[in-house]
Structure 1
Amino acid sequence: MSLSKLSKIALKVLCSNNGSLCYEELRSKMADICAVSDLNLNTVLSNHQLFLIVSGTGSNASTFGLTSDSQIISSSPVRLCKNYPNKECQDCGMLHLCRFFILGNCKFGGKSKTCKHSHDIHDFHNWKIININSLQELNVNELRILLLQNDPSLLPEICLHYNKGSENLRYGICSRKQACNKLHICSHYVSGNCKFGDECRRSHHFHGDDISALLRKLCLDEEVMQNLQKIYQNRNYLKQVPSTDGENAATSFACTSTKRNTNAEEICLYFIRKYCSFKEKCIRVHFNLPYRWQICKETWQDLPNMEEIEMDFCDPNNITSSGIPSINFETMMCESHQVRRLSTASSVTKPPHYTLTTEWLWYVKNAFGKWTECENQASFLFFFAP
């Protein structure tokens, strides 16, 4: 059997098991389908466009460095087209499918089939994209899992503000409370590493009242709802994959440069969605997150634990980060080294339907030293947002 065929089978096995398996389980399930050697399986898994390997801690299961508990996660650059169906779009390289069909419960689908948007993965446009990306072995449910954990626009993000503060255990420091369009759930639980377990003050349930109300609007089917933790955990691993495509764009100028190039310090929104047509010629930074923390040590270098730094930065009570060594957010220095934060374009500079833009919030400190969110955000955002 060819390596190409083995690759498609491995991807199908992963997507039929909620998007990921440990190496030992994957090898076992593959053996039930076809004869496959460790050499061929490991060669297949080296295709980083289709597979992400998260190192395990168990005993070696192969001569290629993989352990039996190494997690293999299905990956793909394929996304739903953001311009479909509102704008005429041809040969965009993205799927033209109904968003709610992918989420699982389009109210216009089913027997009535009155939905004006495509539910057909085999139509000419969609099947061409599926074939180009080696996804033709996947059925609709398997493709759904692949998209849910890879396309950042389909499911809401975790609210970082909810995960901060101790005064309000229900909302954290999230000022939007019930109106928040992000999930109020423990970020460490979703990542699978909450050290507090059942004693954690943050929610560990996707079926809580606030979360359920938000998820109901997405029309998720029951099977997806039951597997949300694993989907989000896989999403978390996938978004942490280091990107090398934009490395030169981020470090192409010296740290001591006094002339600011705004485009070279802005993260490309299209690259995050996996369809920047300029590729390596893009004047913006190519990175897999809407923010990027870097430290200057001769050249700009990525800081570890970016998510924790970002959470600290989003809390107006913090002057410094909690990590060691800490970052001073007022001076943007870490010890004697300069620090910078790159981000996507401000939300006020893009149309409302744009996702993953940077939303800036402004706070004012009262006479008692308490920070409160400004009521009139617009007057600050248009004039001061970077």
Structure 2
Amino acid sequence: MSYSTEVMLITKALCAAGGAMRLSQLYRSQSTIAEQTFHFIVENCPRFALLPGPSQDGLKEDECTVVARTSLRLCQKYLSDNCAGCQDLHLCRYYVYGNCKFTPGRIECRYSHNIHSDHNSPLLRECTLCDLSQDQLFLLLLQNDQALLPEVCSHYNKGLQQHGICSFRETCTKVHLCLHFVQGLCFFGRKCIRQHSIDETGRCMLMERGLSDGLITKLPIIYQNSHRLKLAAAGDSPSSSHSDGICTGDICLHFLRNSCRFQETCELVHFHLPYRWQIFNDGSWLDLQQMEQIEEDYCDPSNCQSFDLEPVSFITMTRGSQPVRRLSTISSVKRPLHYTLTTKWLWYYKQEQGKWVQYGEPDDKNRTTSVTSKDLEEAYLSNKTEVVLVKGHREYTLTFTDMYQRNNKNNTKRKVLRRPRYVSPTEVRRLRSIH
């Protein structure tokens, strides 16, 4: 049975709404599609990416966001006059940006401004996109094609100064936007020291590069949708891998080994421990007192919060109403063994009795899983969606998107956690002295 009409209707609704919608909102917009059919299409058609909603946005646990995607791209060889026939669109890039300097009636552009040309029309029909308006198609292309989007400045997002550590400041040719906002994970709203919209300097720079004023206004949302699609392609999601406030790979390993040659110019954090707990207060990240004790509490998977007078919640990564973050060295599976102060992440599942058991270790009935913490960490960092494992005579599937292990026979599930191995300050000093 063909669902091409329904796919087109849902796609148009998403693109008209900016490229993404809440699942319930999208369903309400499709009064002509039966509920069972709607959910089947959204969950199974590759046109749609279904991602859990971020918890800080106030969504229910089962509320999801649907993002429109396509494999269709602009032909890069066409723009360089080297294309001899392909399955990509032949269109002027600046026409897609909405600001081509060549206009009909004056000087004709050498590249096509016709989405329904003899080359483009069959491609749009084949991809079920022929009924999209021009603006809807261009938005869909932009949020799916990284090559079309201006790069967000990574240096702007480091350090505590107004422009981060970006040395170009007003003359930077990259976009100055908060990366956490772009990823849909910024807790700070108007209090954030980074920009959540493009300022006048950035607007002028982008207009010089051919982007229209209307597109520049939409860019922050397009970046967010593009990031969501990257997570979907990687089998990841904001709720499973980022909402816990853990930033991996931020602390400089060479500094811990007393060998960082970049010193003050190093882009990574120089700190005397392989972890660092901080709280956001008055526009700055400040070190938490007793962070060694907080780290020890956090490394125990049975703890949902620290045990100091003002506890840190490990579920929401907050203390009271203030956001908290944990910086860390890179995962141990990413570096050679002689880098002893990497972070060794351990993976646990929760038994019926509430006890947390590490993967690869025996449970209360002396049964072990077929995979270890190291196996899971390698799979997690290689962007796998899930891992199939065996314990006893039963097969399970662990999905990284929601951090649950499911019994493949009866679909019962167990919560999964990823926590670091505790390294005491004494052990850190001993390991540092070796190098």
Matched with 2:406 is none
SS at match of 1:72: strand
Distance in 2 of aligned mates of 1:93 and 1:8: 20
Asked if residue 176 in structure 1 is aligned to residue 185 in structure 2, the reply is no
Matched with 1:331 is 339
| Equivalent runs, 1:103-118 vs 2, <5 Å | 103-112=97-106, 114-118=108-112
Question: Given residue 27 of structure 2, which amino acid in structure 1 is its aligned partner?
Answer: R
Asked if residue 98 in structure 1 is aligned to residue 95 in structure 2, the reply is no
Cα deviation digits, residues 144-175 of structure 1 (max 9, x gap): 11011111011212212111112x32x21123
Asked if residue 29 in structure 1 is aligned to residue 38 in structure 2, the reply is no
Distance change >3 Å, CA 110–CA 23, structure 1 → 2: farther
Matched with 1:375 is none
User: Is the contact made by 2:23 and 2:66 (CA closer than 8 Å) also made in structure 1?
Assistant: yes
- Higher gyration radius (CA): 2
Matched with 2:197 is 205
Which ranges in structure 2 are unaligned for 5 or more consecutive residues?
A: 253-265, 277-325, 346-373, 383-435
Matched with 2:48 is 51
Asked if residue 223 in structure 1 is aligned to residue 231 in structure 2, the reply is no
User: Is the contact made by 1:160 and 1:311 (CA closer than 8 Å) also made in structure 2?
Assistant: no
Cα deviation digits, residues 240-291 of structure 1 (max 9, x gap): 22447xxxxxxxxxxxxxxxxxxxxxxxxxxxxxxxxxxxxxxxxxx9xxxx
Distance change >3 Å, CA 59–CA 216, structure 1 → 2: closer
Matched with 1:11 is 11
1:37, distance to aligned residue in structure 2 (A)? 1.1
Distance in 1 of aligned mates of 2:150 and 2:59: 36
Match of 1:194 among 183, 186, 191: 186
Matched with 1:259 is none
| Equivalent runs, 1:1-386 vs 2, <5 Å | 2-31=2-31, 35-56=32-53, 67=62, 69-112=63-106, 114-166=108-160, 168-169=161-162, 171-206=163-198, 208-243=199-234, 304=241, 308-309=247-248, 315-318=267-270, 323=326, 326-327=329-330, 331=339, 333-335=342-344
Cα deviation digits, residues 341-384 of structure 1 (max 9, x gap): 99xxxxxxxxxxxxxxxxxxxxxxxxxxxxxxxxxxxxxxxxxx
| Count of residue correspondences | 273
User: Is the contact made by 1:309 and 1:321 (CA closer than 8 Å) also made in structure 2?
Assistant: no
1:45, distance to aligned residue in structure 2 (A)? 0.9
Distance in 1 of aligned mates of 2:232 and 2:206: 27
Distance change >3 Å, CA 126–CA 198, structure 1 → 2: same
1:216, distance to aligned residue in structure 2 (A)? 1.2
Cα deviation digits, residues 295-324 of structure 1 (max 9, x gap): xxxxxxxx9559944666782444757657
Distance in 1 of aligned mates of 2:82 and 2:67: 34
Distance in 2 of aligned mates of 1:209 and 1:234: 23
SS at match of 1:21: strand
SS at match of 1:134: coil
Question: Given residue 239 of structure 1, which amino acid in structure 2 is its aligned partner?
Answer: K
User: Is the contact made by 1:103 and 1:218 (CA closer than 8 Å) also made in structure 2?
Assistant: no
Distance change >3 Å, CA 232–CA 133, structure 1 → 2: same
Distance change >3 Å, CA 318–CA 4, structure 1 → 2: farther
Distance in 2 of aligned mates of 1:331 and 1:50: 43
User: Is the contact made by 2:207 and 2:213 (CA closer than 8 Å) also made in structure 1?
Assistant: no
User: Is the contact made by 1:164 and 1:311 (CA closer than 8 Å) also made in structure 2?
Assistant: no
1:59, distance to aligned residue in structure 2 (A)? 8.5
1:7, distance to aligned residue in structure 2 (A)? 0.6
Q: Which moved more, 1:71-80 or 1:226-235?
A: 226-235
Matched with 1:270 is none
Distance change >3 Å, CA 240–CA 102, structure 1 → 2: same
1:100, distance to aligned residue in structure 2 (A)? 0.4
Distance in 1 of aligned mates of 2:84 and 2:16: 30
Matched with 2:292 is none
Question: Given residue 133 of structure 1, which amino acid in structure 2 is its aligned partner?
Answer: C
Question: Given residue 82 of structure 1, which amino acid in structure 2 is its aligned partner?
Answer: Q
Question: Given residue 220 of structure 1, which amino acid in structure 2 is its aligned partner?
Answer: L
Distance in 1 of aligned mates of 2:85 and 2:246: 35
Distance in 1 of aligned mates of 2:86 and 2:153: 31
Which ranges in structure 1 are unaligned for 5 or more consecutive residues?
A: 61-65, 245-286, 288-302, 343-386
1:49, distance to aligned residue in structure 2 (A)? 2.5
Distance in 2 of aligned mates of 1:155 and 1:21: 21
More strand by percentage? 2
Distance in 2 of aligned mates of 1:91 and 1:20: 32
Could you say what the CA RMSD is over the residues aligned between the two structures, in angstroms? 3.4
User: Is the contact made by 2:18 and 2:221 (CA closer than 8 Å) also made in structure 1?
Assistant: yes
Distance in 2 of aligned mates of 1:98 and 1:122: 13
1:119, distance to aligned residue in structure 2 (A)? 0.7
The percentage of aligned residue pairs carrying the same residue is 30
User: Is the contact made by 1:52 and 1:73 (CA closer than 8 Å) also made in structure 2?
Assistant: yes
